[in-house]
Amino acid sequence: MQAITITRPGTRDVLAVTEHPDPTPGPGEVRIAVAAAGLTFADVSARHGLYPDAPPTPCTVGYEVSGTVDAVGDGVTTLPVGTRVMALTRFGGHSSSVCVPTSSALAIPDGLSFEDAAAIPVNYLTAHHMLFQVGTVHPGSSVLVHMAAGGVGTSVFQLLSTVPDVVSFGTASAPKHDYLRGLGCTHPIDYRSQDYVDAVRAVLGERGVDLVLDPLGGKDWRRSWDLLAPAGRMVAFGMANAVGGTKRSMFRVISQLIRTPRFTPIGAMNLNKSLQGVNMGHLWDEIGLLRPQLERILELWEEGVVKPHVHAAVPFSNAGEAHRMLEEGENRGKVVLIPDGQS
């Protein structure tokens, strides 16, 4: 089998396609011939050496795949050979063959392409979990979504369409605003030329916003927190400010950590604000929590609400180009990786 290996932390040329023996499924596992694997911001951070959860290099990362079951371990009856599936992998997904427990794999509908299926787990589970499990979005409420035109942001806006009368703000560079409006974002904000705090207050006034989804970190967590309305919720789910740019920079990481606000329960109590943290990587084994959400997402796909947007499908041997797209913020929606030799 092929795997995209991060040979050591560094620039895109540390990525290499390596050959390995096919894995053998253990009891209760299926082996998947991977058709497509999702690329996430975390994978790019791992290559930079800035993702603490990643295995030590050399390693193969990747949280999600789609493909066809081509072998099963003892005791597997639910997903026979030939079943088209999507699956959650905690690393190792950027391979042409992976083994996962049956609980981490879901059969997918015939009409769902492999590329679209590989674009679903991380983005839509993150979005669904933030909106409906921890952040709770109510009809008529207001939501600020940072990094809005990326994979998670796209999923957030699609899911928000199931909630009536939401006033939504999304930060993204100006060329992506038509895309955001098409997703139902009522107020795109060009964060490069406009202060998003001013932009939100111009619409909502001093009361502020009910829910902020913030993967930026550092000083933005403070600004998002200050922007919350009474009973507002902020979901912290990333530290993109620490990674931005195409080179690893410890200075950038440390400066963002220094600017991270310190919250206290007493402060939150008196302000009537809530901070919620989401790190799906740390929930990836909580199948009882995630599986019903993934099933709901597939229902919403059947209903035409969930529409994965694949920005590019890139062969394994060109993985550096896929990383570049995320690093340079070129993508609208998802970038997926395709094993070499498949088209």
Ligand X SMILES: NC(=O)c1ccc[n+]([C@@H]2O[C@H](COP(=O)([O-])OP(=O)(O)OC[C@H]3O[C@@H](n4cnc5c(N)ncnc54)[C@H](OP(=O)(O)O)[C@@H]3O)[C@@H](O)[C@H]2O)c1
Residues in contact with 343: Cβ distance below 8 Å, sequence separation at least 6, in sequence order? none
Cβ closer to ligand X: 114 or 179?
Answer: 179
User: Please, which residue, 38 or 101, has the CB nearer to ligand X?
Assistant: 38
Query: Chain centroid to CA 225: how far?
Result: 22
Closest contact distance (angstroms) between CB of 142 and ligand X is 20
Find the shortest distance in angstroms from Cβ 155 to ligand X: 8
- For the bound state, the minimum distance from the C-beta of residue 73 to ligand X, rounded and expressed in Å, comes to 29
Report, in Å, the least distance between residue 335 CB and ligand X.
7
* Residue with smaller CB distance to ligand X, 79 or 147: 147
- When the beta carbons of 81 and 254 are compared against ligand X, the nearer one is 254
Read off the amino acid at residue 47. Answer: R
In angstroms, the Cα distances linking 104 to 34, 82, 156, 175, 270 are 15, 17, 23, 37, 41
The residues, ordered by sequence, that sit 6+ positions from 61 with a Cβ below 8 Å of its Cβ are 6, 42, 43, 46, 47, 51, 54, 55, 91, 92, 93, 94
Tell me whether residue 152 or residue 229 sits nearer to ligand X (CB atom). 152
Least distance CB 250 / ligand X (angstroms):
16
DSSP class per residue in 163-218: STT-EEEEE--GGGHHHHHHHT-SEEE-TTTS-HHHHHHHHHGGG-EEEEEE---T
Shortest CB 226 distance to ligand X, Å = 19
Tell me how far, at minimum, the Cβ of 204 lies from ligand X, in Å.
21
The radius of gyration of the chain from alpha carbons, rounded to an integer in Å, stands at: 20
Q: Measuring CA to CA, which residue among 341, 247, 343, 338 is closest to residue 38?
A: 338
Cβ closer to ligand X: 15 or 229? 15
Quick one: which of 58, 75, 68 has its CA closest to 17? 58
Residue whose C-beta lies closest to ligand X = 150
Instruction: Identify which of residues 173 and 272 has a Cβ nearer to ligand X in the complex.
Output: 173
Q: Is the peptide bond before 175 cis (omega within 30 degrees of 0)?
A: no
Q: Which residues bind ligand X (CB under 6 A)?
A: 40-42, 122, 126, 147, 149-153, 172-173, 176, 215, 237-238, 240-241, 244, 278-281, 326, 329, 331
